[in-house]
Amino acid sequence: MGEIILQVNHLSKSFGSHEVLRDIDFTVKKGDVTSIIGASGSGKSTLLRCINLLEIPSGGEVIFHGENVAGRHMDPCAYRSKVGMVFQSFNLFSNMTVLENCMVGQTKVLKKSYGTARENAMKYLERVGMAPYINAKPRQLSGGQKQRVAIARALAMEPEVLLFDEPTSALDPEMVGEVLEVMRGLAADGMTMLVVTHEMAFAKDVSNHVVFMAGGVICEQGSPADVFGNPQRQETKDFLARFRNN
Ligand SMILES: Nc1ncnc2c1ncn2[C@@H]1O[C@H](COP(=O)(O)OP(=O)(O)OP(=O)(O)O)[C@@H](O)[C@H]1O
Ligand SMILES: [Mg+2]
């Protein structure tokens, strides 16, 4: 059994009187690939944003290596260098080149030298197949290429966990494969990943834990074999049936 990296305990989040997350509990161990699935509006993005402190949880705990980061004393930049995030809409810095995008966090947050940051950025750009594009600006790239740069940028911080929020949802269908392939490679190399996805084949084949959310709660969670092969809750069955019919 791997070491516990992240523990979400009784997490809740409300926007005004709208309760979006309620009593969320799950654990991430080193090397886990956890897929979070569920209908639109079920709270998946809000959950990832709470874990990454882009939103402040209303209640409960996000425990990273034994420390509650939802408490007040955490520097969010330092924390996010350990718990990185890849967004649906890439969020690259449009005024910077591909290489600069992959260096800026390293020099500004991790205080690495230019040379070290460049070398490290190149390593991860090569890994995602984007080394030939180091001088390009994001607008010159396809969606799939942008997302691969965003993954390289996140990896260049050498995080312990990577969060992905629907990384292929904004892509043209022909570009989904290249991004999923990079993610499959990371999973095979033991990267700890938490992936919000509508790619049920990815959730089934690549992850070792599946969390199904409905209406702001975890309706069901377990191994892919259990959640996909033998769902216990009617909500899970209905959700999966809708995917099969698509
Ligand atoms: N900043 C915000 N202010 C107010 N309400 C919000 C905010 N962010 C999210 N919500 C609400 O929280 C609920 C859950 O949204 P969230 O984006 O987490 O769902 P999701 O599961 O990621 O959906 P999707 O699959 O469409 O991305 C929605 O009802 C949404 O309108
Ligand atoms: Mg979302």
First to last CA, the chain: 37
Task: Print pLDDT tens along the chain (246 aa).
Answer: 689 999 999 999 999 999 999 999 999 999 999 999 999 999 999 999 999 999 999 999 999 999 999 876 778 888 999 999 999 999 999 999 999 999 999 999 999 999 999 999 999 999 999 999 999 999 999 999 999 999 999 999 999 999 999 999 999 999 999 999 999 999 999 999 999 999 999 999 999 999 999 999 999 999 999 999 999 999 999 999 988 765
State the angle between helix axes of 114-127 and 98-108 in degrees (0 to 180), rounded to the nearest 10: 130
Nearest Cα to Cα of residue 54 among 66, 46, 43, 62: 46
Q: Which residues contact 95 (CB under 8 A, 6 or more apart)?
A: 137
Q: Which residues contact 155 (CB under 8 A, 6 or more apart)?
A: 84, 124, 127, 128, 162, 186
Q: Which atom of ligand 1 is nearest to the CA of 166?
A: 27
Nearest C-alpha to atom 12 of ligand 1 is from which residue? 20
Taking the centre of ligand 2 as the mean of its atom positions, its distance from the CA of residue 43, in whole angstroms, is 7
Distance CA 195, CA 118 (A): 28
Mark the residues whose beta carbon lies below 5 A from ion ligand 2: 45
Ligand closest in space to the Cα of 13: 1
Nearest C-alpha to atom 22 of ligand 1 is from which residue? 45
* β-strands 59-64, 18-29 pairing: unpaired
Whole-prediction pTM: 0.96
